[in-house]
Amino acid sequence: MRNKNENSKIIGLAVEVRNGDFAYALRKFKKKVQEDGILQELREREAFEKPSVTRAKAKKAGISRWKKKQSKMNELPPTGNKAKR
């Protein structure tokens, strides 16, 4: 929490706690951390991963994204001319 009278700049991620609503501020902070990818990067740096394993994971992720996109395309209703009654 920072004092409004202070003119110092905050470096990094920061969330202002308003009206003592700490739970709301914590949710906002967690969302910012998730979007920034800080925890994911930390987990990746914990142990060395061989380049072949990194490539395999990237390929698997790409395939799963492609399959997800294909399944969503199949779920959408067809667009275009509607049947006349």
What lies within 8 Å, CB to CB, of 28 at 6+ separation is: 15
Q: What is the pTM of this model?
A: 0.50
Phi, psi of 75, rounded to the nearest 5 degrees? -80, -30
Res 6: pLDDT: 59
Listed in sequence order, the DSSP H helices in 1-85 are: 22-36, 38-46, 51-75
Dist CA 17 CA 42 (whole Å): 26
Tens-digit pLDDT profile for residues 14-54: 889 999 999 999 999 999 999 999 998 999 899 999 999 99
Residues 57, 53: Cα–Cα separation, whole Å? 6
Q: For the chain, give the mean pLDDT.
A: 85
pLDDT greater than 80 at residue 8: no
- C-alpha 70: how far from chain center: 22
Q: Is the pLDDT of residue 1 over 60?
A: no
